[in-house]
Structure 1
Amino acid sequence: MSATTAQGGHRAGHGDPHRLGHGDERPIGERGPAPKRIIVGYGFWIFLLSDFVMFAAFFAAYAVLAGELAGGPRGRDIFELPFVLGETALLLLSSFTCGMATLAVAKRDVFWFQLMMAATGLLGAGFLAMELYEFAHLIGEGYGPDRSAFLSSFFALVGLHGVHVLAGLLWLLTMMAQVLAKGFRDDIERRILCWALFWHALDIIWVALFTVVYLFGVIL
């Protein structure tokens, strides 16, 4: 073995002990495929960004149509802020229990994972039940999505978020069942982390929705 080869091997072994690619002088195309966790994470972030773009379009539509009342009520006439604050508290608390569940994954603790996921599911279901009650109450009062463009955009935006929460709850149940049946396999752990990102993203969107739709709707 030549001195140059030995030095190259020394640099590859000691300069990059975790094989992160530093010090690898080969062209990128010759280094082999990226690890699956990188590919999955990258793809899921693209999905989340596309979801944010979709919500941005619904927010923009609401901003344009918020003043189109057609003789109907304004937000301050129909929104019950204490009720919506209760919804917000449930969803934000579910974000905390979601974080605790991901910590349990890192510790490989099945009991605490299932407990925190169950708590997250109950809190999310409570939020969804309150949202459905609000919709039913407004429709019963004659303030359905067909009453005005403002209410159409309101039901569309808030309803879109509710559909995402429902999807997150179904995904949550799937993750609980998979861990119960197969444990913390690498592929299952990746799915759990993707679900946690999705759930936290829903909290971020709800905070924006609460501020723009409900808070500004009552104040302005």
Structure 2
Amino acid sequence: MATTTISTEPKWWSGGKSPFNVEYGKLMMWYFLMSDAFTFGAFLIAYGTVRFASNGWPDPNEVFQSFPGLGSGLPLLFVSLMTFILIVSSVTMVLAVKAGHERNKAAVIKYLVWTIVGGIAFLACQAWEWTHLHHEGAWWGSNPFPNADGSAATANFSNFFFTITGFHGFHVLSGVVINIVMLIMTMNNVFEKKGHYLMIEKAGLYWHFVDLVWVFVFTCFYLI
């Protein structure tokens, strides 16, 4: 007669683990990032469709050629600085996560502070760029820059630029706020009492996603 073995193994829904053997909160963060990636993807696909269906488009080397304090005639130099700042902040976020795994509170605080500074610096750069373009007459519904062939351009360029970079900037701002919350929790020994720094890792996933999206935004608007 066959015997039935009853497993005493804890179920994933009662043990805080997902069916993929990943911590539940981290899995939910991945689901959120996937849905957010679809949103960014839809924006960029719409941008690419309109751009390549148009007869002409402004030359990014002519549009983005100003640098605060140095004047114009410096194509893409300022946005390269913005990209460098965001990449460095991604490195400091990696170091904060690593320090969290090692339960090194002082290092977590140090690298979170540098990540926050990098995010604020990026937002400040974007604010200057938006202000500069607005002073030149660019805004939603208004595009003063001619196409690369000299013909008059539509407002599609500025509409997409301000919408997509603004949406990304909102994500950077959200990431800065999240990291500030993580910093406060770290300083108040919340993670030390829990015995782990998993929340830092989840915040790191979001921050790396924001940095990765910028690579696509940078490529679509400033390089192509």
Alpha-carbon distance, 1:179 to partner: 1.2
Q: 1:88 is matched by which residue type in structure 2?
A: T
- Counterpart among 23, 35, 48 of residue 15 in structure 2: 35
In the alignment, the residues of structure 1 paired with residue 182 and residue 139 of structure 2 have an alpha-carbon distance, to the nearest angstrom, of 36
- Paired residues of 1:62 and 1:157 also in contact (CA < 8 A): no
- Paired residues of 1:87 and 1:130 also in contact (CA < 8 A): yes
Q: 1:118 is matched by which residue type in structure 2?
A: V
- Counterpart among 210, 214, 217 of residue 218 in structure 2: 210
**After alignment, is 133-142 or 144-153 more displaced?**
144-153
Would the alpha carbon gap of residues 177 and 120 (structure 1) be closer, same or farther in structure 2, given more than 3 Å must change? same
Number of the residue aligned with 1:159 = 166
The answer as to 2:188 corresponding to 1:181 is: yes
The answer as to 2:53 corresponding to 1:53 is: no
Alpha-carbon distance, 1:123 to partner: 1.0
**Higher share of residues assigned helix:** 1
Would the alpha carbon gap of residues 63 and 113 (structure 1) be closer, same or farther in structure 2, given more than 3 Å must change? same
Q: 2:162 is matched by which residue type in structure 1?
A: F
The unaligned stretches of length 5 or more in structure 1 are 9-24
Q: TM-score, normalised by structure 2?
A: 0.77
SS of match in other structure, 2:197? helix
Alpha-carbon distance, 1:143 to partner: 1.4
Number of the residue aligned with 2:176 = 169
SS of match in other structure, 2:141? coil
- Paired residues of 1:91 and 1:123 also in contact (CA < 8 A): yes
Alpha-carbon distance, 1:68 to partner: 8.1
Q: 1:31 is matched by which residue type in structure 2?
A: K
In the alignment, the residues of structure 2 paired with residue 174 and residue 160 of structure 1 have an alpha-carbon distance, to the nearest angstrom, of 21
Would the alpha carbon gap of residues 32 and 66 (structure 1) be closer, same or farther in structure 2, given more than 3 Å must change? closer
The answer as to 2:209 corresponding to 1:201 is: yes
In the alignment, the residues of structure 1 paired with residue 157 and residue 171 of structure 2 have an alpha-carbon distance, to the nearest angstrom, of 22
Of the two, which has the highest radius of gyration? 1
The unaligned stretches of length 5 or more in structure 2 are 18-22, 66-75, 143-154
Number of the residue aligned with 2:77 = 82
* 1:66-77 correspondence to structure 2 within 5 Å: 66=51, 73-77=58-62
Would the alpha carbon gap of residues 68 and 146 (structure 1) be closer, same or farther in structure 2, given more than 3 Å must change? farther
Sequence identity (%) = 30
User: Which structure carries more relative contact order (alpha carbon 8 Å, separation 6+)?
Assistant: 1
Alpha-carbon distance, 1:97 to partner: 0.4
- Paired residues of 2:86 and 2:119 also in contact (CA < 8 A): yes
In the alignment, the residues of structure 2 paired with residue 118 and residue 95 of structure 1 have an alpha-carbon distance, to the nearest angstrom, of 12
Number of the residue aligned with 2:106 = 111
- Paired residues of 1:102 and 1:196 also in contact (CA < 8 A): yes
SS of match in other structure, 2:138? coil
In the alignment, the residues of structure 1 paired with residue 101 and residue 171 of structure 2 have an alpha-carbon distance, to the nearest angstrom, of 26
SS of match in other structure, 1:88? helix
In the alignment, the residues of structure 2 paired with residue 108 and residue 52 of structure 1 have an alpha-carbon distance, to the nearest angstrom, of 31
Q: TM-score, normalised by structure 1?
A: 0.79
Number of the residue aligned with 1:140 = 135
In the alignment, the residues of structure 1 paired with residue 219 and residue 78 of structure 2 have an alpha-carbon distance, to the nearest angstrom, of 14
